[in-house]
Amino acid sequence: MPPKPTRTLVVDNGSYTIKAGFAAENAVPEDCLQVPNCLARARDKRVLVGQQLDSCRDFGSMSFRRPVEKGYLVNWEAEKEIWDRTFLDSDSKLQCDPRQTVLLLTEAPNAPSALQSNCDQMVFEEYEFSAYYRCVGPTLIPWNNIGALYTPDYNPSTNPPAEACLVIDSGFSHTHITPIINGQLWNSGVRRIDVGGKFLTNYLKEMVSLRTYNMMEEPYLVNQVKESVCYISTDFSGDLEKCKALKNSANPIVVDYVLPDYNSGKLGHQRAHIPKKLGSARDDEQVMVLGNERFTVPELLFSPTDVGLKQSGIPETVIQSLESVPERYRNLLLANVVVVGGNANIPGFLDRLQSELQPLAPSDAIVRIAKPEDPITYTWQGGVALALDKAEMKRRQVTRAEYLEYGTAWCAKKMAGEAVSGSETKTTETKEGRSHKKRRVDDS
Partner 1 sequence: MPTIEVLPSSSTTSGPNWTYSNLPPALAHRNTLPVATRVRATRNNNFENSAARQRQINTRILELENDNYRDVNIPIPVKGKGGRSSNRTKASSTQNVRRILASQKTFANHLADEEALHPSVTGSAAATPSHPTSGLLDAQVLQDEEDAGQPLGYMAAASAPPTKPKRVFCEICGYWGKYRCQRCAARYCGLECGAVHTDTRCNKFYA
d(CA 392, CA 160): 11
For partner 1, give the closer residue by CB, 188 or 286: 188
Q: Does 7 bind partner 1 (CB under 8 A)?
A: no
Q: Choose one: 82-90, 270-278, 332-340, 421-429; the region binding partner 1 (CB under 8 A).
A: 82-90
Task: Tell me the closest approach of the beta carbon of residue 158 to partner 1, in angstroms.
Answer: 20
Sole binder of partner 1 in the list 283, 327, 364, 373 (CB under 8 A): 327
Which phi and psi (to 5°) does residue 129 adopt? Answer: -65, 150
Task: Tell me the closest approach of the beta carbon of residue 185 to partner 1, in angstroms.
Answer: 6
Q: Does 190 bind partner 1 (CB under 8 A)?
A: yes
Q: In angstroms, how far is CA 140 from the centroid of its own chain?
A: 12
For partner 1, give the closer residue by CB, 86 or 381: 86
Q: In angstroms, how far is CA 9 from the centroid of its own chain?
A: 18
Hey, which residues between 369 and 428 contact partner 1 (CB under 8 A)? none
Hey, which residues between 196 and 235 contact partner 1 (CB under 8 A)? 198-199, 202-203, 206-207, 210-211, 216-217, 219
Hey, which residues between 94 and 133 contact partner 1 (CB under 8 A)? 95, 97, 109-110, 112-115, 118, 121-122, 125-126, 128
Q: Choose one: 28-36, 66-74, 277-285, 341-349; the region binding partner 1 (CB under 8 A).
A: 66-74
d(CA 9, CA 35): 14
Q: Are 293 and 204 in contact (CB under 8 A)?
A: yes
If one counts every other C-beta atom within 10 angstroms of the C-beta of residue 152, the result is 7
Task: Tell me the closest approach of the beta carbon of residue 170 to partner 1, in angstroms.
Answer: 13
**N-term to C-term CA, the chain:** 42
Residue whose C-alpha is closest to residue 107's, from 156, 148, 64, 71: 71
For partner 1, give the closer residue by CB, 113 or 145: 113
Task: Tell me the closest approach of the beta carbon of residue 419 to partner 1, in angstroms.
Answer: 12
Task: Tell me the closest approach of the beta carbon of residue 187 to partner 1, in angstroms.
Answer: 4
Hey, which residues between 29 and 58 contact partner 1 (CB under 8 A)? 39-41, 47, 49
Cβ neighbourhood burial of 433 (10 Å; 0-12, 13-18, 19+): exposed
b or e along 168-185 (b: 16 or more beta carbons within 10 Å of the residue's beta carbon)? bbbbbbbbbbbbbbebbb
The residues pairing with 131 across neighbouring beta strands, listed in sequence order, are 102, 399
Q: Does 251 bind partner 1 (CB under 8 A)?
A: no
Hey, which residues between 290 and 309 contact partner 1 (CB under 8 A)? 291-293, 296, 303-309
